[in-house]
Amino acid sequence: MSQKPQPPSHGLAVCPAPECGEPVDPRDRFCGACGHDLSAVVELPAGQDRPTMPIAAPVWPEAPPRDPGSLSTMTQHPGELPGTDSGGRDLTTAPPMPPVAPPVAPPSAPPAAPPVAPPSAPPAVPPAGSGGGAVRADGDVRTDGPVPPRGETVRGGGDFELAAPDPRTAVQAEPVAAAEAAGDVPDGVCVACRAGRVDGDGYCENCGHAQPRERDHMERELGTVAAVSDRGLRHHRNEDSFAITETALPDGRPATVAIVCDGVSSAHRPDEASAAAARAAGRVLGEALPRGTHPQQALHEAIVAAAEAVTALARENGPEGAGPDSSHGGNSPACTIVGSVVADGLLVVGWVGDSRAYWVPDDRSAPAARLTEDDSWAAQMVKAGLMNEEQAYADERAHAITGWLGADAYELEPHTAAFKPDRPGVVVVCTDGLWNYAEAADAMARAVPADAATRPLHAARVLVGHALDGGGHDNITVALTPFAPPAPGAGSS
C-alpha cells in the first residue's frame, strides 16, 4: 500500500538547544519540548552532504564547458539571451556573430523543404564544406551558398538550428492583396485578416474570426425594384428571404415582382422554408406574366407553388442528414409570404400570414394605406370586435399567426387584392421585423424617405436602419417598388 514520504533523518539523539537536552526522534524536525528547529543547527561530520542549502547561497551555478558546435547542450548560457537586467545593462557578454546569408537555390531547383530526420535519430549537423546542408524534397544535399566556419552553427538566439520555412506551407497572401486592390476578396478567404482560409465551420484557420454568413445581410437592386434583408440585432441567423424580378407582359409592357417571406421561428428549418417559398413564387410569376396570365391570378398561383415548395421540405432530409421533418413531432418547415406585382397601371398584392404590403404616395399630403390584413390572433380579435387594434397588438399573443405555408398548415387560402392608384408612389412589402416599428400606414409613410421612388435601394436601407434603431428584435426584410399610374388616355387591363 502507498505511504506518505518520510522526512530525512537529522542524526540527533537529544535537542541541541541550551538548557534543553530533550530526547528527540531522528525523524523529528522540531524539538517536542522547546520547539527548536533541529535541521537548522545540525552539524554533520566532515565529508557528509548538507541536506539543505542556505537561501543566501548562489542559485545560478557556473555553466559547464561545452562544445560550441554542440546542439544537445542542456544548459542555456545567460550571455546568449538578448535583453537587459533591472539596471538597464546589456545581458549579452559574447560578441554578436556576423550575419550569415541563407543558402539560395538555383533558378531551376525545386522549392527547398526543411531537413527531415528519423524520429529516433539526433538532429544532423551538416559537415564542413557542405554549404549549409539544406535538404531538397528529393533527399539530396544542396551544397551551394556560403559556408559557416567550422565548428559554428547558425542560430536564431538559441541553441537549435533554424530551418528555412517550407514554401509549401506558407500563407499565400499575394492573391488576396491583388483581389483587395480590385475591391474583392476571394471565396474562402477570411474577411478579417485577409490571409487565412475559412474552414467548414465558418471560422478562419489563421485568426479564428467567425465569418459573416451570406444571409446575414442581403441587398439586391434592379431597375424598378430593390430589396434589403438583415438578420437584426437579436437573432442568431436570418430566417427571412426575398425574390425580386423584372419581366414583361405579352405586349412588351414591363411588370415588376417583389416577394418577401418570413420563416416561422418555432418551426423546423425556417430559413430553408422562406428561401424555398421566395424562389418558387418568383419563378412562377416570372413565367406566368409573359404568357399573359392576369397578374392577380398569377400571384395566386405563385403563392400555391410557394406552399408546395415548403411542404416538400418536410419530406426531405435536413442539414447533415437530419431526416424528414416527420421525426420532429410534425413541426414542419413553415413561413409567411407577401408579394406585389406592378404592371400596366395595376397594383396587385397577395399574402398568407402576417407579412404586409403598404402603399405610400409620393405626395405625403395624400393618405397612405395598408393593403393587407394579417392572418394573426390580433387581427382576428379586431375583426371580431373583441379588442381594438391597440389592445390586440399589445397582447403577448398578438403575433401568433393563423395562416402560413407548410405541411402542417390549415387549408391554404391565399389572399389577393388589386388596386389602381391614381397617383405615383411606392409599394412597400415587408416582414414584421420592419412594421413592428412602423405599424400604422401613416407611421410607415413617415419612415419611407421622400425620394424612395427614384432611389428604392437607398430607401430600403433607410427602412432597415429604422428597424435596427428601434431595437432590431427580429429579422428585417423590405422590398420597394415605385408605381406610376398610366398616362391619361392610355389603355389598361
Would the pLDDT of 473 be above 60?
yes
pLDDT above 90: percentage of residues in the chain: 46
For cell 389602381, the residue is 420
Mean pLDDT of 244-253: 95
Provide the 10 A C-beta neighbour count for residue 54. Answer: 7
The whole-number pLDDT of residue 35 equals 72
Cα–Cα distances in angstroms (integers) from residue 14 to residues 10, 30, 74, in the given order: 11, 11, 44
pLDDT of 46 above 90: no
Closest CA to 267 of 318, 212, 214, 231: 318
Contacts with 232 (C-beta within 8 Å, 6 or more apart), sequence order = 238, 433, 467, 468, 472, 473, 474, 475, 476
pLDDT at 133: 41
Residue 214 sits at the vertex; the CA angle it makes with 208 and 215, to the nearest 5 degrees, is 125
**Cα 477 from Cα 337, distance rounded (Å):** 12
Tell me how many degrees the CA angle 58-61-62 measures, rounded to the nearest 5. Answer: 130
- Name residue 342's beta-bridge partners: 256, 347
The pLDDT tens digits for 335-391 are: 999 999 999 899 999 999 999 999 999 999 999 999 999 999 999 999 899 999 889
Going from the C-alpha of 441 to that of each of 221, 361, 435, the distances in angstroms are 24, 11, 9
- Rounded mean pLDDT, 91-119: 49
Q: How far apart are CA 270 and CA 353, in angstroms?
A: 14
Residue 464, SS3? helix
Residue 24 half-sphere exposure, CB side, CA atoms within 13 Å? Answer: 27
7 against 280, higher pLDDT: 280
Residue 172, pLDDT score? 39
Q: State mean pLDDT over 209-224.
A: 86
Q: Average pLDDT for residues 138-148, to the nearest whole number?
A: 41
Q: Are 371 and 341 in contact (CB under 8 A)?
A: no
Three-state DSSP class for residue 425: strand
pLDDT value, residue 122: 45
**Nearest-5° Cα angle at 410, 408 to 411:** 125
If you average pLDDT over residues 58-62, what whole number do you get? 41
* Length, in residues, of the chain: 493
Residue 167 has pLDDT above 50, yes or no: no
> Would you place residue 259 in the very low, low, confident or very high pLDDT band (cuts 50, 70, 90)?
very high
pLDDT for the residue numbered 413: 87
Rounded CA Rg of the chain: 40
**Res. 437 pLDDT band, cuts 50 70 90:** very high
Are 208 and 190 spatial neighbours (Cβ–Cβ below 8 Å)?
Answer: no
The Cα 332–Cα 272 span in angstroms is 11
Q: 235 is written with which cell numbers?
A: 437573432
**CB contact at 8 A, 263 and 274:** yes
Q: How far is Cα 184 from Cα 116, in angstroms, rounded to an integer?
A: 39
Q: Which pLDDT value is given to residue 22? A: 80
Q: Residue 170: is its pLDDT beyond 50?
A: no
Are the C-beta atoms of 490 and 433 separated by less than 8 Å? no
Rounded to whole angstroms, how far apart are CA atoms 308 and 284?
A: 12
Average pLDDT value over all residues in the chain: 75
Reported as a pLDDT band with limits 50, 70 and 90, residue 65 is: low
Higher pLDDT, 485 or 16: 485
pLDDT category at 491 given cuts 50, 70, 90 is low
Read off the pLDDT of each residue in 455-476 and give the average, rounded to a whole number. Answer: 96
Give mean pLDDT, residues 272-281: 98
Stated pTM of the model:
0.59
User: What gap in Å lies between CA 356 and CA 226, rounded to an integer?
Assistant: 16
Q: Do residues 386 and 378 touch, judged by C-beta distance below 8 A?
A: no
Average pLDDT of the segment spanning 123-130: 42
Burial (CB count <10 Å: 0-12, 13-18, 19+), residue 319 = exposed
In this prediction, residue 459 carries a pLDDT of: 97
Whether the CB-CB separation of 244 and 227 falls below 8 Å is answered with yes
Say how far apart CA 330 and CA 342 lie, in whole Å.
37
* pLDDT higher than threshold 60 for residue 226: yes
For residue 187, what pLDDT is reported?
62
